[in-house]
Structure 1
Amino acid sequence: MKIIVDADACPKKVLNICQKTAVENDIEFWTVASFNHHIESPHHIMVGNNSQEADIRIANLCSGGDIVVTQDWGLAAVVLGRGAAALSPWGKIFRAETIDFLLEEREVKAKLRRAGGRTKGPGKRTKEDDKRFARSLQKLIEELSG
């Protein structure tokens, strides 16, 4: 089992929680980010700045039983298809049963933005968000170890 973080847009608190949880559970911790980000990690993969380059590397790195932390719903769908678990930095566990709905929602929002509309982004991160994320991460570890 590995915890793999899509570190391009991941909050520092989430990176810290992942690293701490990985150490506590004796799990490998990996980060993947473009060269534009300075990431401290025992296993860090630096990729170029091209669109989707980090996502492709993560998809190729993960396998069944791994946990991928990403806010990219498309990447979440790919890693679920590879048998890995997917978790958002906000603590939402992506499930195979619901990912199709999320991808449809993403497409609807993209169409709205292309037409000049606006969509609401995430709010300011709170301590409760960090606690929720840590609980969800531990829950996935227990599910996959089980």
Structure 2
Amino acid sequence: MRAALFSMGSVSSKRIVEALESYFDEVVHFDIRKVEMRIGKGDTLLFYDGEKLDSDFSCVYLKSSFRYALIQRALATYFNGIAYMPIEPSAFTIVNDKIFTHLALEKNKIPTPETYITPTVDAAKKLLKSINFPIILKIPG
């Protein structure tokens, strides 16, 4: 069985590789900054450092900075159903966005501060006339 770790190569990533080696015949580390996905010609293709990637893995683990949340989600979506993925694809973009995190917590009945989201500054000004302080107000963009 083969496992893959996509990360930036931190010390903790190296420890994950060592731990995976106890359970898998082969463990391959990929620097997430060198991964490329080609989508839209009928078949999604993965490339690593310019070379086509052999994506035949039993387990795939993704770990990286919030800056790579979209590629993490894309990779997780690609491998979902093909390899064991311990993290749901949507998690990568939810946990890196305060509003999505807040919505996920609320949906799961985890208490959160009351938060207001408005699309514009003008809408926020109108809202301020009808609510009590203290408040959390998010104005996207």
TM-score (ref. length: structure 2): 0.42
Q: Greater strand share, 1 or 2?
A: 2
TM-score (ref. length: structure 1): 0.40
Q: Greater helix share, 1 or 2?
A: 1
